[in-house]
């Protein structure tokens, strides 16, 4: 169950980072509220996953999902640039996440 919590927490990290961008520096109410609500749940699920997963594994997977997910959301939803170097950087993060998962005892 810890891995399920962790993946959902990572997805919610993408959601809150996207809505933080939409909040325009917390000047728009609805995106600001979505940011803080999803941030709260994301942190809570991360905390639950850390009951059984090692700190380094849980935190790096969570931030990795958030980083790659935010990159993909930026490209697909906000029209941000997807040049070969940025794509390679995202692929390297995914590779690191796979290695972290494979090396985790839980």
Digit-coded pLDDT (tens) for 64-106: 999 999 999 999 999 999 999 999 999 999 999 889 888 877 6
Residue 35: which H helix or E strand, with range?
helix 29-49
Contact, 7 vs 65, CB < 8 A?
yes
Neighbour tally for 70: CB within 10 Å: 21
Q: What is the pTM of this model?
A: 0.88
């Amino acid at each position: 169950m810890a891995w399920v919590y962790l993946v959902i927490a990572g997805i919610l990290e993408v959601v809150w980072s996207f809505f933080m961008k939409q909040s325009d520096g917390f000047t728009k109410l609805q995106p600001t509220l979505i940011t803080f609500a999803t941030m709260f749940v994301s942190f809570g699920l991360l905390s639950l996953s850390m009951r059984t997963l090692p700190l380094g594994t849980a935190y790096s997977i969570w931030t990795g999902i958030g980083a790659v997910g935010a990159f993909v959301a930026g490209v697909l939803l906000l029209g941000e640039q997807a040049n070969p170097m940025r794509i390679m950087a995202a692929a390297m993060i995914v590779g690191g996440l796979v290695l972290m998962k494979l090396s985790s005892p839980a």
